[in-house]
Structure 1
């Protein structure tokens, strides 16, 4: 019918409109943008932290970037740091990027590790789904992917979108630092959830009772909302 085929579907709001199977090729524009911004200027540390490392934040807060792509971008950062002021000059790399990424309080320079930073941003999206269920995006994702459970219990499922895969990539990190306010205890399970006032062991370590495996914390309280020491 004379319709021409295109390989570039462009971007919407700065994000790729279509995600193909080759995610490295899809997100290559991040690498190209970093190459353009790493110019020869004074203050390499400020340049890297304030400009270069800030470029992929918007994309990383929505999509999971392949680890290989993160490594290539960090290679550009490292080459720029040790080179002659541009991303093409290699120079002598006296220290690896892993060492440079150590916090300054631990005798590093505090540069970001892009892969870990990507996971942290995606964990923040999961936190928003968990704490703001009234938002339209939260309601849509819950209706489609986890209508009968909480975000903390959802699994990947069959044929999810890449955006949902990306959000779930940060789920485990979010759960590591997750704790619950008890309130009336009706929405918090006794076993498997972090609800104790103990930073080291916020979840029960005792074996669950089979008949009470799905019991909630309100069963440990009396009618006045105080802890029932007899039940405990």
Structure 2
């Protein structure tokens, strides 16, 4: 039906097919680089600054299927290991180890599944703190009226955008902390605001 800012306006059926254009763009970009003329340092810069950054906008809006992120990872890892434009190259180290920090023996490449979750968690955080933004008002009106986003439950037949953002709720909760302030927004008997070994509600332990 068309696209807006590089994202399809309508998502129907298989999300792998809907977002297959991301892999096609990455293929075109990576295959346009000549592997035999680049050192390992040059490849690292190209992957980090261009290849992994290419799907960033889509990942900040939707949760990409794992099948698709695996294909994107395969395109990037093949470019890293091949020594010329024809051979696929020998993959000497698993890619998940390459994604570890340098202090842990990796090269600091981004694991696309985790990176996708981080970008969507930022959107969830934006919905919490920027209540008057257009996105927050639309999401609240459709999915969690009169509720705090962290208290929202997955609605029946949610939009793919909210379903993608909502999938990172547990990730946001791991790092979220209540700022008590006046206490007007705290549910005394339900929210884990008491600083125990694990923060807990004020109700008794029986």
Q: TM-score scaled to structure 1, two decimals?
A: 0.79
Distance 1:192 1:51, change over 3 A: farther
Q: Give the aligned CA root-mean-square deviation in angstroms.
A: 2.0
Shift of 1:196: 5.5
Structure 1 Cα separation of the partners of residues 77 and 59 of structure 2: 20
Q: How many residues align?
A: 198
Shift of 1:207: 7.5
The C-alpha deviation readout for 1:30-74, integer Å capped at 9, x for no partner, is 101111111125200001000000000000000110011001110
Pair 1:45-2:51 in alignment: no
Structure 2 Cα separation of the partners of residues 18 and 144 of structure 1: 18
The C-alpha deviation readout for 1:11-42, integer Å capped at 9, x for no partner, is 11111111111000111111011111111252
Distance 1:57 1:152, change over 3 A: same
Distance 1:191 1:53, change over 3 A: farther
Distance 1:143 1:10, change over 3 A: closer
2:9 to 3, 8, 17: 17
1:185 to 141, 161, 183: 183
Aligned equivalent of 1:139: 137
Aligned equivalent of 2:60: 61
Which structure 1 residue ranges, 5 or more long, are not aligned? 1-8, 211-232
Q: TM-score scaled to structure 2, two decimals?
A: 0.88
Q: Which has the higher contact order (CA 8 A, sep 6+)?
A: 2
